Structure formats: C-alpha cells, structure tokens
Chains A and B, each alone.
Chain A
Amino acid sequence: MSARAERTKEPPSRSPVKRAARMASLGFGVAGSYLGYLLQRSFLGEDTRKTRLAAAHTKAARRMRHEMQTLRGPAMKLGQALSVQTGVLPDEVLTELAALQREAPGMHPTLVRAQFKSSMGQLPEDIYATFDELPFAAASLGQVHRATLADGTALAVKIQYPGIGDAIAADFEWARTVSKPAQVSGHLPRVALDELERQIVAETDYVREAENLKLFHSGMASLGYVTVPEVFPKLSSSRVITMSFLEGDHLDDFLAKRPPASVRNLVGERLLELFYFQLLRMRAVHVDPHWGNYLFRDDGTIGLIDFGCVKYFDRAFVDGLEQLFLYEGSRTSIEFQRELDKRYAFTGQRITTGARKTLMRFSDQFYGRVFPPQIERENELFDFGDAAFLREYLSASRELIKTKGILTEYLFLARAEIGLYQTLHRLKARIATSRIVRKYLNRPTARRA
C-alpha cells in the first residue's frame, strides 16, 4: 500500500495513512489507520525518517489520534500495544497515544446505561448512590466512570464496550491483511500480531481481571508505597468491574508539576522494584506496559491500575531466569549459553541459533550495563534519562521481539520492560539498579556479603 504510494508520488492527502484513517473513520476498524501509519513508517528508510520534522510527526499523530478516538475498543487498544511494543514510533506519536489512552473515546451515556443494564440487570442508579454518566478515563476495551456507594466510598466503575470480541477478531483480520508486506519484510512479525490478539482477547475477560486485581491487592500489600484498587465482586460481572477509586496523576500531569529529582528518582526506583517484585516474588507481572496504568502522587507513592493483562509465569521459568540476573561471568561465554538453553528446556522447545545469539547479545549489551553485577558497584546509579541509551535499547528490543523462536515469556517480559524503561526515561530517573534486583535474588552468591 505505502510502497505504491511512494512510487506514484501521490499527494499527501492521498497517503495510505489518510486513506486508512478515512476507512477507519467509516468503521472498518482503527487497526487500519494505525497499521497504515506503521507500514508507511516501516517502508521509509532510516534517513528519510530522520529528516522528517517533529512537527510533521505531531500532525500525523494528532490526526491519527483524532481518527482513533472516533472509534472504540480493540482498535485503540491495538494502537496502544503496537505503540509501545514496536518502538518504531517517534516520541510525538507516543505522547499523543498516551493522551489517547486516557481520554474517553466515549460510549455515550445512553449506550453506557444500556450496556450496564444488559450486564448487571439493573441501571447504575439502582446500584450506586451516585454515578457519573460521563467517563473520566478510557480503559482497556472500555471506559471508567466515577461512582459512590451509600457510605461514601469512592468508586471507579469500568464498563466494557459492547460486542468487543467480534470487533477484535475483525480488526485483527484486517490488520493481518494490510500488514502482509510488513510481515514479509519482518517489520511486523506474524507471531507478534498473534500474541497481541491473544493478549487483547484475554483483556476482554473482566472476571479474570477482577481476580488479577484481588491477587495484586493482597500480594502487594507488603510494599507500603503502592496501592491497588479493591474489587467489589458483588457489583461486578463479565463486562463491569466495580473497584475502589485511586487518587493520583498520570505521568504527563505528574511531570507537568515539575517534581524534584529526589521524588522522580524515588518513584523510578519503586517502579523498578515493582517489576522485580512482581516477577520474582509474585511470578505474575502486570505486562500492559503503557504508562496510563500508573498513578503518581507527590509523596512518591504509586497507584497501579488496569489489570487486564497479567502474565503468570511458571516457577521453573522464574527460578531459571533468576540465575541470569546479575550474572557475574561473561555473557558471551559458553556457561551463560548453557544457562540460557536451560530456560528453553523446561518448555520442551529447542532454542534456535538465531534466538540464542540475539538473547546473548541483548543481555551482554544491556543487562550487563544497566545492572552491573559486581557487588562493589551496587550503589552505582544508572541514568534512565539518557536518550541515546533508550533509543539503542528500543531498537534492540524490537530486534529481540522480531527474532524467530523467542519464548512467549520473553516477549511478555520484553514488552513490560519496554514500557517500564520508557516511563523511567520520561521520569529521568537515576537508580541504583543492581541494589534493587539483588534484594529479590535467592542466589546466595549474588546476595550482599
């Protein structure tokens, strides 16, 4: 599509993006508009991309956001996921997408009531003392409304868009068709699309999400600085979740208040700790990586919301993975390679040479650098504000995700980590990374002497 556009030098208004956007606005699914955009970018050479002005990015991003907002649900979600996962998008687009993540695309109040009643059998006013018919946020595949109980408890009520399952299937079918060239060229591997679809379908299951919330609510209770909403099961269903309302600012608003470096570092440190706590202690990671899922407060405490996408890891996988953290030897050695191969053994899958090479290179280039293993360096601060590092990291992650034969577990972790690092970058956080990881390792050798 975009290749043709390039050849025939169509005027910008006829660009695939706009055409796709227009189709999307007619209800063919926003996946189109986003993928059109993504495809076009994929075909542009690195140089051409670089010469493009930031203003042009912003314009395209705004237009895309506008088109995406007119539709609801999976398409928007797909946009979010692709935006974080692929890492091919410029910051301007990410900023616009971040706004999109929070701004309500809007089921109108009549549809909200209809949807609520079809799921709960009653209207919102029959259940809550107050219910705001206008949403305050867009959530994964739904929107969130404020409400209160008779005793004054503040609530967030998440309501799913109707007919979401079919819409997802339709959007992905279309996405697969239009992204054929990108699949062939390897810019958007099919396995990544399949994985995304699985993830998004899983997110439509609000019953499971409520269970995730419960698990994280109790599992994280020991960490004093993080709050997770409490679910009200009797006021929830497969398409409605009633939970307690969390105070806090989204990343953009938090940063707009210019928090001091000490708070930004503290928050960053906690976000990093949260990641390792989830992976190594809970063996369940909130893998929806976009920063719309965090709420920040001035005192450095964090609210964690939206538990649609949680990946549960096998104990064997996590125990094995732990052996690789703060690995003290050479990450290009045969011993390290053996450790890596073991991760695959438990799945019965054989590691491919390509996957092994990519994983080892990635580990050597990044983990060794971000997390210096030597105990005497454990107080060293890593500066996530380094833009060159983030760029390199994102491009290497993209490479990793694209590599054939990478375990699904790694795909999930890579995605979660991309979101985390981008958030840390925006916080310009300087963190004693190794000290945090070491806290959660069970290996005696890695522990503090």
Chain B
Amino acid sequence: MKQQAAKKARRRADLKESTRRNIVKAALSLFQSKGFDETTTKAIAKKAGIAEGTVFNYFPTKEDIALHFFNEELDHAIASVRRNPRLARAPLQEKLFALVYSQLEYLAPYERFIGAAVVHTLTPSSKLGPFSTSSQLLYLRYVEFVEQLMNESLPKDQSLARLWAPRAFWLFYLGVVLYWLHDTSEDKQDTLAMLDRSLTITVRLLFGASGSAKRARKRR
C-alpha cells in the first residue's frame, strides 16, 4: 500500500515537473518570437496545450516564468563551473570567465527576450526589478557564489574588497549582458575579448594579483 502511494506521489511530482517545463518552454519560445511584453499568459497556455488557469497554478505572472528561467540559468552556470575539476585550481579571472561565459551561452538562444528582461530588471515595480523579493533571492544566490569563488582564490587579508566585490560583480555581469546584446561583431567576438580583458584588469585592480599575495606572505 505504502509503496503504491509513494509511486503515485512520484508520478504526480513528475507530471507537475513536466507541466512546469512545458510552460517554461512555451513561454520562452513566445518571448523570443513575439517579445516579452507582447506575450500573454493566454498565448502561453495555448502553446503549452493547457488551460490558462493551470499556468497560474504554476506561475502567477509571466515575470515569475522569467525568474524561473534565470534561476535555472544560474543553476546551469554554477554546475558548469563546479563540474570542471581543473577550474578548482584555476586563477580567479578564469573561474569568473567560466561563470559569465556559461551564463551567456545559456542565454544565447533567447537574445530578444533577454533584451526585454534587462529593461524589466531596471524597473522598480517589476518582479524582475531591483526591489522585488524574488529577484533579490536570485541576486543573493549569484553574489554568494561569486563570493565563494573569490574566497577560494584570494588571500585572507583581502577582507575589505571581498565585502563589496561580489556585489559589484553582479553589476559588472549586467553590464556584460548589455554589451553582449549590442555586440554586432562576428560570432560576438568582441564580447569574449571584452570579458577576458576586463576580468584580467578587474581582478588585478581589486586584488593586485601578485602584490596581495606577497603582502600576505610577509605578514605570515
């Protein structure tokens, strides 16, 4: 009996998950083809082949769908940095490069939608905006991961920079996304170059690559 109930519950959970995926997939394809602002929940429901009410059960608004997507994107990026054992020993700028690059790779098929989403990120009343709790959670997750990466690579006496650097990195990331969206170079070569160069410079400026390590050694 118990086993059967557990099986049933699992099946229900699977079904729920697949519906959620369906909705997100349908929404993303509409966001990309029609535009974020032009897409209605009705259209999403139709494309996903479910009732509009069902969409609301999963996501109260389309901003929630977008947030879900960005959380998944972050999961993917964190996993791809962690999955690579070599990166654990890599310099900070390479880790940060890997993080941002895998984010951009994930976003690449949805460029049009990302453009609209960035505008919403700067709109105070939007769920994607800077004052919404749900987007704050996403922001904190991101900052926490960047902090982890910085802690792994930096000498312990860099506490001051470590306080604000991960937060500043979030802004840097948004800047990179904007640059990437407007990058008309072949295969977005300029974004790669900009990301590589700016990370090298930023890490050097913030933590003075060799200087800080030397100072740390002296103190010890």
Contact assessment for B188 and A111 in the assembled complex, using a CB-CB cutoff below 8 Å: no
Q: Which of A161-169, A402-410, A430-438 contacts B (4 or more CB under 8 A)?
A: A161-169
Interface of chain A: mostly helix, strand, loop or mixed: helix
B144 at the interface (CB under 8 A from A): no
Give the distance in Å from the alpha carbon of A26 to the alpha carbon of B97 in the complex. 18
Stretch touching chain A among B7-15, B17-25, B70-78, B83-91 = B83-91
Q: Is the CB of A110 within 8 A of B192?
A: no
A27 to B94, CA, bound (A): 17
B38 CB-CB contact with A under 8 Å: no
Question: A107 in the interface, Cβ–Cβ < 8 Å?
Answer: yes
* Nearest CB of B to A263, in Å: 42
Cα(A239)–Cα(B193), bound, Å: 14
A5 to B185 alpha-carbon distance, docked (Å): 40
Q: Among the listed stretches A113-121, A150-158, A253-261, which one makes contact with chain B, having 4 or more residues with CB under 8 Å of it?
A: A113-121
Majority secondary structure of chain B interface residues (helix, strand, loop or mixed): helix
**Chain B residue at smallest Cβ distance from A133:** B86
Asked if A111 and B200 make an inter-chain contact with CB atoms under 8 angstroms apart, the answer reads no
Bound CA span A25–B200, Å = 10
Interface size on A, residues (CB 8 A): 22
B98 interface residue, CB < 8 Å from A? yes
Please provide the chain B residues from 86 to 125 with a CB less than 8 Å away from any CB of chain A in the complex.
86-87, 90-91, 93-94, 97-98, 101
A50 at the interface (CB under 8 A from B): no
Complex CA–CA separation, A118 to B101 (angstroms): 12
| Bound complex: CA A118 to CA B90 (Å) | 22
- Note all chain A residues with C-beta closer than 8 A to B198: 27
Q: Is B140 an interface residue (CB 8 A)?
A: no
A115 to B196: give the CA distance in the assembly, Å.
11
Q: What is the distance, in angstroms, from B105's C-beta to the closest C-beta of chain A? A: 8
Q: In the complex, what residues of A have CB within 8 A of residue B94's CB?
A: 108-111
In the complex, what residues of A have CB within 8 A of residue B187's CB? Answer: 118-119
Nearest-neighbor residue (CB-CB) of B202 within chain A: A27
Q: Which 7 residue pairs across A and B have the least CB separation, nearest first?
A: A163-B193, A162-B192, A162-B193, A118-B187, A108-B94, A110-B98, A162-B189
Q: List 23 A-B contacts (CB under 8 A).
A: A26-B204, A27-B198, A27-B200, A27-B201, A70-B200, A107-B196, A108-B93, A108-B94, A109-B86, A109-B90, A110-B87, A110-B94, A110-B97, A115-B192, A118-B189, A119-B187, A133-B86, A161-B193, A162-B189, A162-B190, A162-B193, A163-B194, A164-B193
